[in-house]
Amino acid sequence: MKILVTGAAGFIGSHTCERLHDLGHDVVGLDNFNDYYSLALKTLNEKALLEKGIKIIKTDLRADNLAEALPKDINYIFHFAAQPGISASSTFEDYFTNNIIATKNLIDYALECSNLELFVNIGTSSIYGLEATFPETKAPEPASHYGVTKLAAEQLVLQKSREKLFKSCTLRLYSVIGPRERPEKMYTKLIACAYNGEAFPLYEGSATHLRSFTYVGDIVDGIVSVVGNDTKVDGEIINLGTEVEHTTQDGIEAVEQVIGQSIKIDHVKARVGDQLRTKANIDKARKLLNYNPQTTLLQGVKAQVEWYKTNFVA
């Protein structure tokens, strides 16, 4: 199969590219290499893909010439590219253009791909709102610009299934951790603080927040399992994550245990829109995709620490 992966130089996108390549697929990557976080990390991810023979087309989904920049003989599209997370440095326009306009442009391109078998939108548990413990039938109540615009993108993609224009599905991911996690995300930041002797900024009240911290390898297992299941997943929303919950404090202690030292904490003002609890309800994923995440929090943290040491510790 010939597969297009957007956001291919990012955290989960790069891992998915590698897995699809290892499964024997012809993978085409796409990324705009924006400066939301250090380009050095995206370049590092790109290098890992290039070593496997996977090339990344550098283009922006907000551009009007996608059909000219991308091949038309694509069988699957995995759409990771987005303005992520909750950040004071991101404007509503950033979320709107990167998550909605970009997705609409990619859909327009997909409609020109006559061999397209499935368009896979990568969603987020943030769509549910401040608590994400529900089955996919729960009405969304997003509490951030990120969640609102990702919901809109999701619905734009699923609309095409309803119109019978192409098969599509959306995968809502839960608190993914592991090697290549973005530098502003919790575990990479914790690890960096430990090695650099810096204080970790802990948002007020977040030590008791509950999360389905899911190892990236387990997430990718679920993502790639949709290949060949086009009819089964068409029009579906599917949660991917672990059913095991941990507090933020558990995560801090796991990093301290693996590295073998305490991490200084700097208590800072809470973020608006930050989720209080996520627990992946994966009954549907188990039924449709035989999904069964197995990696423990400690195993995931160990892998992430080793990746960080290899790449960033002198």
- Please state, in angstroms and rounded to a whole number, the distance separating the CA atoms of residues 199 and 71: 47
- Residue 278, strand partner residues: 132
* Gap between the Cα atoms of 148 and 154, Å rounded: 10
Inter-residue contact 251 to 187 (CB < 8 Å): yes
Among 128, 146, 174, 215, the one annotated catalytic:
146
Active site residue 36: no
151, 140 contact by CB (below 8 A): yes
Element (H, E) at 247: strand 246-247
Q: Which residues contact 154 (CB under 8 A, 6 or more apart)?
A: 121, 123, 127, 170, 237
> Which is nearest to 96 in space by CA: 141, 149, 148, 140?
149
CB 61 within 8 A of CB 105: yes
Q: Which sequence positions are flagged as catalytic?
A: 146
